[in-house]
């Protein structure tokens, strides 16, 4: 009885191995056919024309016309995309708070930078101060927009929004300058 079970097991194992061997031979044959077919036929991929659409092109400010990748004869076939004149003018007008913050930065930051440099024991020259101040001024419009959204999200009364935004940006400037000297050590 023991021999019969062992014999059956070996027979099943042999049948399974034969089946696997046939499967492997079949796969090898198909692989060889595909390789031969791929080598005999040339590539069917041909690129006739490339078209570019600059949907993601970001232009912050544009006075005039910008043509990218066009020859002079292509300019006649272009779609005209114009920004209404009124919208253009509002883009160039700075936010009223920008002037207030620029005054704060120009009047307060030089002495604050001197104080921070003295506390950190790191001298700072006028050129470096001016670079930092100009960098801060360049970011004001973006920061105002950020804090306007925050004020709306927090549902701050319109009469209090200007002071909220000013104080947040003032604190951010002071914190940023302190961190600048801390990380400079």
Q: What pLDDT does residue 179 have?
A: 86
The tally of domains found in the chain comes to 2
CA 146 to chain centroid: 17
For the record, the structure tokens of 99 come out as 């002037």
Does residue 66 sit within a domain? no
pLDDT in tens, 124-171: 888 988 888 898 899 888 888 888 888 888 888 888 888 999 999 999
Q: How far is CA 88 from CA 74, 98, 167, 169, in A?
A: 26, 19, 30, 27
For the record, the structure tokens of 46 come out as 């041909």
Residues 34 and 110 in one domain: no
Q: Going residue by residue through the chain, which has 185 residues, state the pLDDT in tens, using 9 for 90 and above.
A: 567 888 898 999 999 999 999 999 999 999 999 999 888 876 666 777 766 555 544 555 555 555 454 555 555 565 555 555 444 434 555 667 899 899 999 999 899 988 988 888 888 888 988 888 898 899 888 888 888 888 888 888 888 888 999 999 999 988 988 888 787 75
Residues 100 and 163 in one domain: yes
Q: What pLDDT does residue 88 have?
A: 43
Q: What pLDDT does residue 27 have?
A: 96
Q: What pLDDT does residue 13 have?
A: 94
Does residue 119 sit within a domain? yes
For the record, the structure tokens of 137 come out as 């001024």
Residue 146, burial from CB neighbour count under 10 angstroms (0-12, 13-18, 19+): middle
Q: What pLDDT does residue 1 have?
A: 53
Residues 35 and 97 in one domain: no
Q: What pLDDT does residue 85 have?
A: 43
Does residue 101 sit within a domain? yes
| DSSP-H helix ranges across 56-157 | 85-92, 96-120, 126-153
Helices 126-153 and 158-184, interaxial angle, to 10°?
A: 140
Q: What pLDDT does residue 23 have?
A: 96
Residues 99 and 180 in one domain: yes
Helices 126-153 and 96-120, interaxial angle, to 10°?
A: 130
Does residue 14 sit within a domain? yes
Domain that holds residue 22: 1-42
Residues 160 and 98 in one domain: yes
Q: What pLDDT does residue 20 have?
A: 97
Report which of 21, 43, 23, 41 is spatially closest to residue 33, judged by C-alpha positions.
41
Give this prediction's pTM: 0.48
Q: What pLDDT does residue 180 have?
A: 83
Q: What pLDDT does residue 37 have?
A: 87
Residues 100 and 30 in one domain: no
For the record, the structure tokens of 117 come out as 């440099």
Residue with tokens 């302190």: 178
Residues 107 and 177 in one domain: yes
In degrees to the nearest 10, what's the CA dihedral of 155, 161, 166, 168?
A: -10
């Amino acid at each position: 009885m023991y021999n019969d079970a062992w014999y059956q097991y070996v027979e099943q194992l042999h049948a399974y191995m034969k089946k696997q061997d046939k499967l492997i031979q079949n796969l090898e044959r198909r692989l060889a056919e595909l390789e031969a077919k791929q080598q005999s036929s040339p590539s069917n991929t041909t690129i006739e024309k490339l078209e570019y659409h600059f949907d993601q092109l970001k232009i912050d400010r544009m006075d005039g016309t910008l043509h990218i990748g066009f020859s002079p004869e292509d300019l006649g076939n272009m779609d005209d995309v114009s920004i209404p004149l009124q919208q253009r003018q509002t883009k160039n007008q700075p936010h009223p708070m920008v002037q207030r913050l620029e005054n704060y930065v120009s009047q307060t930051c030089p002495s604050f930078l001197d104080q921070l440099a003295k506390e950190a024991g790191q001298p700072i020259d006028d050129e470096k101060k001016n670079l930092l101040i100009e960098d801060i001024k360049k970011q004001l419009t973006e920061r105002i927009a950020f804090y306007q959204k925050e004020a709306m999200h927090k549902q701050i009364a319109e009469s209090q929004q200007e002071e909220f935004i000013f104080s947040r940006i003032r604190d951010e400037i002071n914190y940023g300058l302190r961190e600048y000297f801390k990380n400079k050590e």
